[in-house]
Amino acid sequence: MNDKQIWELIRSLTLEEKSALCGGINSWQTLALPEKGIPSLRMADGPHGVRREDKAHTRENGGPSIPATCFPPAAAMAGSWDTHLMQTVAAAMGAEARSQGVQVLLGPGANIKRSPLCGRNFEYFSEDPLLAGEMAAAWIQGVQSQGVGASLKHFAVNNQETKRMSISAAVDVRALFDIYLKPFEIAVKKAAPATVMASYNKIGGVYSCDNRWLLLEILRLRFGFKGLVMSDWGAEDKRDAGIAAGCDLEMPASHGAGTRVILDAIQAGTLSEDALDTAVWNVLRLVFRYTAEDRPSPCNYAAHNELAAAAAAKCAVLLKNEDAHLPFDAGKPLLVIGGMAENTHFQGGGSSIVNPKKRTNLLQALNAAGQNYTYMPGYAGYGRDAALVQNAAVAARNASQVLLVLGLPDLFDCESYDRTHLRLPDNQLEVLEAVAAANPDICVALCTGGALETPWLAKVRSLLCLYVGGQAVGEGARRVLFGLENPGGHLAESWPLALESTPCYHHYPMGPNEVSYNESLYVGYRYYNSADVKVQFPFGYGLSYTRFEYSELSLETAALDEGETLRVRFTLANTGDVAGDEVAQVYLSRPDSALYQPAHTLVGFARVSLAAGARQTVEIALPYARFAAYDPSTGTDVVEAGRYGLHVGDSSRSLPLSAQVQVAGVTLTPAAPFSKSGFYGQIQGNTFPAAAFEAIYQKPLLSNMPRQKGTYTMHTTLGEMHRSAIVRFFKKRALAVARKSMQSSQDPLASEKALRASTDDLPFKNLVSMSAGVVSPEAAETLLRAVNGKGGLVRALRMVLKSWKGLKRNDLLSNE
Ligand code: BGC
């Protein structure tokens, strides 16, 4: 259907039909109007495989969703620094989505890893916006190459899970544009995603879904986005404000509540019909485009499993390898210790959970390869078991090759809540101590969704990080451990020495009302390098079974003019005995800037494969725009004139080659707080006082005093209102139903924790949208007054009773 026909169709629709088209009809589908020739479009999570729910695949029926390939999640994929691989993997996901009748796959997640504690970091790519943006763009290109739409999420500044549905992010403009919005900008401009998902949180006090500035001025006008904006699930606050702001589709179904709000606002003249028509236009364009492409096409799951294994191997990051301890010798027996060799942590918990078509843990991979090995669990689950530890240590004493598999159980890697520390579980640390004491020659393989503290590093000879490697992680790991694949992954995030040394340590997570991003631009390595703070493993770091040498850096020009591309060339040599991949990185420094600047900023990278003994000239092109940054005086991206340093190497802390280029541009005269001599120009440690931050934020900060009875609002979370018996009743009910219908993790403990966190952090207003139409907006208002002790208790109780009857019928929170 062409644009003209869509407009004609819109003209033929009633107001009711148009309003209803702007909301889902259940958890996953849009409204069909068969008599008008409008089909329904189906979505599914994302982002590392397809989670297509259907009636036959419920928790009770042996699987929470239709089986699909679970590819390595974003945290692992980003470690490959390989956009081509990301695109190939995403194309396979697109093919599976299509074969399962899914027209929009909900991913990728492009949020920045502000803190290693974020519960959702396993779903996100990096602490660096360029790497996150390029990987997200590759994801979108891959999925959309299969005729399936992507949904770039969570737009924007959703960097903590704590209170994610009500928290407001306070970020200064430079950090906002150059760090937090940047990956979205890159992905939108480069890959044109079919949809963008607006995040749960507020930015500067305004919910993302209702944020006209964010969705219209930034996303559409500045970034040139032409697709559809949908709400994250339950993120819409005021549907009329959402339509006016450019949030075209509310998900999931609000069971008529959203439609009514839109109709009332149009009738009252507070919302224009034009704004509604624009939203309908975006909905219909998406629906017609992707349902037209929806021809069933079988896909090859066996080939995808092999791709998942190959990807897992390419993502693995070798963090330590003393005296070439790895690879293991396949001709000798291997002692494998660690419950995770069997119950391998291969994905995180929450909405992204994939029911894997096949699973290969490490032991299965060793069996299939005929490897001679012995297995000792050492630990199991979360509990301590002295006998298991003892047996493992005894076995390790005389073993010639020992592999200890450790990692985060699901409980520590889950959507809906943040981690509270960066340690491995105590029962695993105990095994590590005992085994390392029995045999100093051990290799540790880590399965984790994010950075960990490794104070035990000196006790192990080698360390391989598999991240969360997807369903075939066991086979991917085997190939790397035995040298069939040379590890070439590099860290896409810094691994700090200790949580206390992370830049946002004093401001993460925060709540209940506001989280302030006091560290401004100093996220991850931008902070560690600027403040000269030691890390355990720097951003960009990764070893190999071979060695690489960098030499002969040359810049094509010493003076770059406006609009030109700078070609950075250097020689990379593989000076070892085996073929391998290197991730070469180019960073910028800005000694002449009038603004405060991080010491280094990643501006280019390339994953290069080289045969043993080979040399190659590597060229990395830096378009003029790579030198641009947000200018707080004009509110535009500009290139500041002056000297720029370019630094080349294999991590943010190992940059052997440097050169300078003079770049043409504008002269900046920033306001004092943004200037080089301002507070942020002289950062020392991670203390970023509120006064300094307020000067760059240029708005007063909100109070984080919890609300008391009498002042609760529709946005107060159920957890904050726990003193109220009515609220406790609803929370209990919501939990019970959610427990029956949702599975957040393979691990019941993690599932339960996620469900409790989600219900605790649910704003009161969401009782309306998430109660299958049972709690009306009026009932919610009356209830809230009663909860606030402002009377109307009898009326409220009557409504509660009425709702209660409805609840029994409709299952609060089930949405379907
Ligand atoms: C998550 C989204 C997800 C959606 C649908 C939300 O809770 O934040 O990432 O796509 O649920 O499952």
Q: Which residues contact 634 (CB under 8 A, 6 or more apart)?
A: none
Q: What is the residue type of 263?
A: L
pLDDT, tens digit, for every residue of 661-691? 999 999 999 999 999 988 898 888 999 999 9
The H-or-E segment that residue 195 falls in is strand 195-198
* Catalytic-labelled residue, pool 45, 172, 178, 232: 232
CA of 250 from ligand 1 middle (Å) equals 13
Q: Is 103 left (phi over 0), alpha (psi -120 to 50) or beta?
A: alpha
Out of 48, 106, 164, 249, mutate this one to test ligand 1's pocket (max ligand atoms within 8 Å of CB): namely 106
Question: What pLDDT does 816 receive?
Answer: 37
CA of 244 from ligand 1 middle (Å) equals 23
SS3 43: strand
**E-assigned strand segments in 627-736:** 628-631, 636-639, 642-649, 657-663
CA of 450 from ligand 1 middle (Å) equals 20
Return the structure tokens found at 470: 């997807």
Q: Which stretches of the chain drop beneath a pLDDT of 50?
A: 62, 809-816
Out of 232, 251, 743, 766, mutate this one to test ligand 1's pocket (max ligand atoms within 8 Å of CB): namely 232
413 close to 371: Cβ distance less than 8 angstroms: no
Say how many residues make up the chain: 816
Taken in order 337, 341, 347, 348, the sign of the CA dihedral is: negative
CA of 48 from ligand 1 middle (Å) equals 13
Is the model's pTM score more than 0.95? yes
Which residue has the CA at smallest separation from atom 7 of ligand 1? 233
Q: How far is 180 from 519, CA to CA, in rounded Å?
A: 13
Relative to beta strand 334-337, strand 402-407 is parallel
422 close to 499: Cβ distance less than 8 angstroms: yes
Which residue has 């192990």 as its token pair?
Answer: 460
Q: How far is 328 from 311, CA to CA, in rounded Å?
A: 20
Q: Which residues contact 384 (CB under 8 A, 6 or more apart)?
A: 426, 427, 430
347 close to 359: Cβ distance less than 8 angstroms: no
Which residue has the CA at smallest separation from atom 12 of ligand 1? 351
Q: Counting atoms of ligand 1 from 1, which one is nearest the CA of 351?
A: 12
Q: Counting atoms of ligand 1 from 1, which one is nearest the CA of 164?
A: 8
Q: Which residues contact 809 (CB under 8 A, 6 or more apart)?
A: 774
DSSP 383: B
Which residue has the CA at smallest separation from atom 9 of ligand 1? 351
Q: Which residues contact 12 (CB under 8 A, 6 or more apart)?
A: 36
784 close to 711: Cβ distance less than 8 angstroms: no
Residue of 337, 325, 548 whose CA lies nearest to 438: 337
CA of 351 from ligand 1 middle (Å) equals 5
Please list, residue by residue across 624-658, b when 16 or more beta carbons sit within 10 angstroms of its beta carbon and e when fewer do. Answer: bebbebbbbeeeeebbbbbebbbbbbbbbbebebe
Q: Counting atoms of ligand 1 from 1, which one is nearest the CA of 199?
A: 8
Q: Counting atoms of ligand 1 from 1, which one is nearest the CA of 46?
A: 10
DSSP collapsed to 3 states, 309-353: HHHHHHHCEEEEEHHHCCCCCCCCCEEEECHHHCCCCCCCECCCC
CA distances from residue 368 to 71, 165, 221, 480 in whole angstroms, order as listed? 20, 46, 54, 15
Question: What pLDDT does 679 receive?
Answer: 86
CA of 356 from ligand 1 middle (Å) equals 19
Question: Ligand 1 pocket: which residues have CB below 6 Å?
Answer: 45-46, 106, 153-154, 232-233, 351
Question: What pLDDT does 793 receive?
Answer: 75
Angle at 467 between CA 463 and CA 472, to 5 degrees: 105
Q: How far is 279 from 258, CA to CA, in rounded Å?
A: 13
CA distances from residue 125 to 109, 153, 591 in whole angstroms, order as listed? 8, 12, 29
352 close to 65: Cβ distance less than 8 angstroms: no
Q: How far is 809 from 813, CA to CA, in rounded Å?
A: 12
396 close to 337: Cβ distance less than 8 angstroms: yes
Question: What pLDDT does 326 receive?
Answer: 98
Q: Is 82 a catalytic residue?
A: no
Helix-then-strand count for the chain, H and E: 23, 27
Out of 43, 164, 233, mutate this one to test ligand 1's pocket (max ligand atoms within 8 Å of CB): namely 233
CA of 477 from ligand 1 middle (Å) equals 30
SS3 534: coil
Radius of gyration of the chain (CA): 27
CA distances from residue 567 to 491, 604, 617 in whole angstroms, order as listed? 25, 11, 12
